[in-house]
Amino acid sequence: RAQCGINGLWHNLERCWFVFTQREERLYLLLRTLISSLFLIIALARSHECVDGTYRHDGRYCCRCGVGLRVDEHCTENLGNGKCESCPDETYSSEPNGQTFCEPCTSCSQPNDNLEVAENCSPASNRRCQCQKDHYCASGTENCRLCHPCNKCGAEGIKVECTGNNNTVCNDKIEGKAYLSATICHVLCCINWNLSCLSLYFLERDIGPLLPDIAKVIGWRNMRDVAMRSSILDTVIESCRLNHPGDTQEQTLELLKTWVEKEGSDAGKKLVECLRKSHKNTKAKKILYHLEHCHNPVFLGTNF
């Protein structure tokens, strides 16, 4: 037992195990724990000497190589005497490491993959690929490895444009009579729009000479409603009525003149709009007829 000694090597302690008393066995376990803890503390202390941490090689701790580097020579004497070098062309290392090699960069030039370079390869980062124009990735991921041609839409048109992450989405197809009906409807809408623009042309012209005829069409009650909707004061409306007792035609004409002075050059258009909003479509059409008839005899035969 004296020859073994507590300070002996681990293998000597193992050989002398059978002669230890229970008390000495406890001392041995405590000593072993302390020594292991000491090694751990030393390793942790040394790791602070390395910016990117350490790695273990042949029972020795060495400093890791930084991003974009690889191990050229492992350390032999201390943490920092190893050697690092930059990753060769077409390789990269995106994290600190203890490897003697770098990862190969991704290729974006594989035949029929329809890829192109989005970000070039560097020692610190991998090459990033993206789909070529008019192609999309079915997986929808950034690191797509295969892109497909985008669909083409016909007469139905495009609903959603093709991007690198999704295919083209077309509108629902319109076939046969339905397509013809839609075309005719579109043409009629265009014609109606042009006629509306033509009507507005006449409505924006001076309607002064037509006021007596318009007054006959619109009548006192409707003219009063139009005036009230246009924020003409009740006292003004009442004054027009009192100025011509019992003569609704003159009452209407005076109130109409007052309203036209207030609305200006758009009076004709606004009058028709007010009547339409009040669901007086028949009177609106008759007034529109008078305006068109006055400025263009071609409309004499128009049927309202």
Q: 62: how many CB neighbours lie within 10 A of its CB?
A: 23
Q: Higher model confidence: residue 10 or residue 249?
A: 249
Domain assignment present for 252:
yes
Among 116-120, 175-179, 184-188, the range scoring the smallest mean pLDDT is: 175-179
Q: What is the rounded CA–CA span in Å between residue 118 and residue 127? A: 8
Residue 146: is its pLDDT beyond 60?
Answer: yes
- The share of the chain scoring above pLDDT 70, in percent, equals 73
Whether residue 210 is found in the same domain as residue 286: yes
Note the pLDDT tens digit of each residue in 160-181.
999 888 899 999 876 555 556 5
Check whether residue 162 and residue 231 sit in a common domain.
Answer: no
| Residue 80 or 74, more confident | 74
Work out the angle at residue 42's Cα, subtended by the Cα atoms of residues 40 and 48, and round it to the nearest 5 degrees.
Answer: 105
- Position 198 in a domain: no
Helix axes 267-277, 281-295, angle to 10 degrees: 160
The pLDDT of 274-293, averaged and rounded, is 83
The tokens describing 166, both together, are: 């999704």
Q: What is the pLDDT of residue 106?
A: 92
Structure tokens at 156: 């139905």
Claim to verify: residue 66 and residue 82 sit in the same structural domain: yes
**What pLDDT does 41 receive?**
64
Residue 81 lies in a domain: yes
127/267: higher pLDDT = 127
CATH number, residue 274: 1.10.533.10
For the segment 69-76, the average pLDDT, to the nearest whole number, is 93
Q: How many domains does the chain have?
A: 3
Structural domain for 238, as ranges = 205-292
Q: What is the mean pLDDT of residues 179-196?
A: 56
- pLDDT, residue 182, reads 57
- Mean pLDDT of all residues belonging to the chain: 78
Say if residue 159 is in the same domain as residue 238: no
Q: Are residues 218 and 167 in the same domain?
A: no
CATH number at residue 82: 2.10.50.10
SS3 content of the chain, % helix, strand, coil (to 5): 50, 15, 35
pLDDT at residue 144, as a whole number: 80
203 SS3 class: helix
Residue 169 and residue 225 in one domain: no
Mean pLDDT of 1-17: 48
The residue type at 173? K
113 with 157, same domain? yes
Q: Is residue 16 part of a domain?
A: no
